[in-house]
Structure 1
Amino acid sequence: MNKLIISVTNDLHTDQRVAKVCNTLHNNGYEIILVGRKLKDSKNIHRNYKTKRFKLLFNQGFLFYFEFNFRLFLFLLFSKKNMLLANDLDTLLPNFLISKLQAKKLIFDSHELFSEIPELVHKPRIKSFWVSLENWILPKLKNNYTVCNSIANYYKEKYKVHFKTIKNLPFKKDLKKGRFDFDTKNKKVILYQGAVNIGRGLELIIDSMHFLENHLLVIIGNGDIYKDLQQKVSLEKLDKKVFFLGKKSPEKLQLLTPLADIGISLEEDLGLNYRFVLPNKIFDYIQAEVPVLVANLPEMKQVVADHNVGEIVFNREPKIVAKQIRGMLEKDYSKALKNAKEELIWQQQEAKLLSIFKNAK
């Protein structure tokens, strides 16, 4: 049996992509250990495969990455395995070193262009470290995949290395609806789910709420600007129109997403990482049969163009966005959404994923 150690820097609980990869591999005979970290507010997880979460002294900044990678290196060094799967650049170094020291096959899943994330834009010294690491290791890798064609093409052009595309699609889901803990009667619900960080277009949609009557904005998720947005909403007296629900488990989210009338993904073009983004929330909206309003960025607008499941924002003025939302609510996307949800599912990606591991060099 192939023994595979999979590593990621998050706490495992809400990482749907990694969970899907693990389930597919586990169901096809791989013995898995999934490694991440445990935070103070991390919830217990129960999986069909083994998990390991490090309790760290540091949970942010350089010391976090150093401690996590050092702990991961030691864990990999003394654990039995045939193969390694590194998720993103921030787990790649210890995996790469162990693969060379112990002659183990290494697979790399790039969820994003890590060295181009907006958080590094104003930190040139830190960014230069990640770019140097990328320049050193990526050209040496043989078994790679990523979330979209744009990132795959970027790596091919820059490093002359091949990446396959495994889109972050959801499992096909039956439509089940829960309920919000607040009154939505006679209201249209605009939903954002995902990381509450800079560059996600959340300020724009909040500003647009000033021009939308009988509409509610629901934000599900957490992140760096969560409290700042709450303060913005309070100062602008939008408390009765904008609701923050915090982070939800995938199971609870599955019940809440179908309650929306529109799902938004309005990321800003803050560099290559955001320009090439293809958020899994778009596919979650489609699976919940919720039309999508997306940014004018190549990967996400291609989904809308190919499947006619929503609209693209070409003008980011709040008043114009509000008008576009009102127009969307007058249209019927139900047939297109039902067709798209049959096609855009994880089951369509599994054969390609398994071939990467089966044919790993």
Structure 2
Amino acid sequence: MMKKNVCMFVWNHFTNDARVLRECTTLSEKGYKVDLICIHDPNDPDMKYVEKRNDNFNVYRVRRYPIMFTVLQFCIKNKLVGSVALVLWLFLAYLFPFIIIPLTLLGGIIIKTRLKTVVVRGCIIIRMILKGRMKNYDIYHSNDLNTLPQGYICAKWRLRRKPLIYDSHEVQTSRTGYDSSIYAKMEKFFIRKMDSMIVENHTRAKYNEVLYGFYPNVVHNYPFIQKEVFNHKIDLHEILHLPENEKILLYQGGIQAGRGLDKLIKAVPMFKEGTLVLIGDGRIKPDLEKMVKDMNLEEKVKFLPKVPLEELPQYTKNAYLGFQVLNNINYNHYSASSNKLFEYMMAGIPVVACNFPEIRRVVEGEETGICIDSHKPQEIADAVNKLLENQALRTRYSENSRKASKLFNWEKEKELFVNVYAKVS
């Protein structure tokens, strides 16, 4: 059977999106021709607009900012507004006064108000749609709500409608930054117009069933098997100038609100030994760095920027234990079974984890760590100290983690994902 051409959308730069990478790679290995459409980062000079991952998998990044914004920002940054830009503007205004002057006023209003965000996002959506209609795709795939309109327009606004898969990595009606009711209304509108839906665990599938009356496909967020992690690693002790016997207590992932990182830092003075290392970037990172400085914890808490996905397991292997301490600030967090939990498992790293249903199911069911109330720094510290003091317990959890990694991995889970495509094809 001739394999299909797939157009997939994701609302990020596709630099550290592990789930989308796994899905695209799997489809390409199965013979599907996959084009992933994402967003270019103008602040990254090395980022390519077009990237060929393999013979069947290409990445296309659309421009983030409209050309008008780019020109204005360039002029402001290079202090050209008062000289070259002014001369150019006067010349164009003289030739086309009824076009240039209104556009200039409109551009100034947009840049100085919240309309800028609306315009920028709107332009990105339009570019994604145009890119998604340039080729004759057989299947469209939208990752999360912010690309569902693009997928819907490309797949359904045509004489011969194409299948649309909605892959919801988050709970769109209850997640950080999605407080407006417009998101729930958007999802309710679009969800009846797609052909198949994917969520990452059964807790979220049941939630979806209550909301919309149907049970979506479940494809868990398990990582690739990382065989190389056991025979090669990056030396974090050397990078951070730590003694070789210093125990690294690791958090890896986004530095975002609601992930319990402030409570984790508050727990550090109660740790009997070890250095907390946070690998990743995010909006609250400057706030956490200030918090560490104010608490005089610079020697006990270290920050590293995010690292490429393919290198991350080599960092993880350095850890004595790992943290997954999400806070229960919305249903999205409460129902999570995040990728980092299984990344720790692949590296044989015991975890101190929040006591939420999907995470508890794995951690306690496979005996790979300790579940705690992630809102309480004292409980975090007690669990850490228990693993620091009881080497035999830590070793048992580590061995269980490696055993469990043979069950919770993408090599097993990907067949469920491929079956979704087989059905819509």
1:25-84 C-alpha deviation (Å, 9 max, x unpaired): 000010010110111126456511111001211799434432221211122223220110
Q: Secondary structure at the match of 1:171?
A: coil
Instruction: Look at both structures and tell me which one has the larger radius of gyration over its CA atoms.
Output: 2
Q: Secondary structure at the match of 1:120?
A: coil
Tell me how far 1:288 sits from its aligned partner: 0.6
Query: 337-346 vs 38-47, which deviates more?
Result: 38-47
1:137-152 equivalence runs, <5 A: 137-152=190-205
Amino acid at match of 1:322: A
Residue 75 of structure 1 is matched in structure 2 by: 131
Summarize the Cα distance change of 1:184–1:158 in structure 2 as closer, same or farther, 3 Å threshold.
farther
2:263–2:374 CA contact under 8 A, matched in 1: no
Summarize the Cα distance change of 1:57–1:308 in structure 2 as closer, same or farther, 3 Å threshold.
same
Q: Distance in 2 between matches of 1:46 and 1:234?
A: 43
Tell me how far 1:251 sits from its aligned partner: 2.1
1:229-308 equivalence runs, <5 A: 229-308=288-367
1:147-201 C-alpha deviation (Å, 9 max, x unpaired): 1111111111111133111111111112232211021433221111111100001
Q: Distance in 1 between matches of 2:344 and 2:319?
A: 9
Q: Secondary structure at the match of 1:218?
A: strand
Residue 50 of structure 1 is matched in structure 2 by: 58
Residue 166 of structure 1 is matched in structure 2 by: 219
Matched, 1:28 2:34: no
Q: Secondary structure at the match of 2:322?
A: strand
Q: Distance in 2 between matches of 1:26 and 1:177?
A: 29
1:65–1:90 CA contact under 8 A, matched in 2: no
Q: Distance in 2 between matches of 1:129 and 1:314?
A: 32
2:372–2:379 CA contact under 8 A, matched in 1: no
Q: Distance in 1 between matches of 2:243 and 2:191?
A: 49
Q: Secondary structure at the match of 1:250?
A: coil
Q: Distance in 1 between matches of 2:52 and 2:312?
A: 18
Q: Give ranges in structure 2 of 5+ residues lacking alignment.
A: 70-115
1:75-224 equivalence runs, <5 A: 75-102=131-158, 103-121=161-179, 127-174=180-227, 175=230, 176-180=232-236, 181-182=239-240, 183-224=242-283
TM-score by length of 1: 0.94
Q: For 1:343, which of 383, 407, 418 is the aligned residue?
A: 407
Q: Distance in 2 between matches of 1:303 and 1:337?
A: 10
Summarize the Cα distance change of 1:254–1:46 in structure 2 as closer, same or farther, 3 Å threshold.
farther
Tell me how far 1:104 sits from its aligned partner: 0.7
Q: For 2:13, which of 11, 14, 24 is the aligned residue?
A: 11
Q: Distance in 1 between matches of 2:219 and 2:379?
A: 35
1:141–1:161 CA contact under 8 A, matched in 2: no
2:272–2:385 CA contact under 8 A, matched in 1: no
Q: Secondary structure at the match of 1:259?
A: coil
Q: Distance in 2 between matches of 1:261 and 1:128?
A: 43
Amino acid at match of 1:113: V
1:9–1:68 CA contact under 8 A, matched in 2: no
Q: Distance in 1 between matches of 2:220 and 2:12?
A: 20
| Paired residue total | 356
Amino acid at match of 2:371: I
Q: Distance in 2 between matches of 1:172 and 1:256?
A: 15
2:320–2:349 CA contact under 8 A, matched in 1: yes
**What is the percentage of aligned positions where both structures have the same residue?**
26
Tell me how far 1:5 sits from its aligned partner: 0.6
Q: Give ranges in structure 1 of 5+ residues lacking alignment.
A: 122-126
TM-score by length of 2: 0.80
Q: Distance in 1 between matches of 2:125 and 2:173?
A: 17
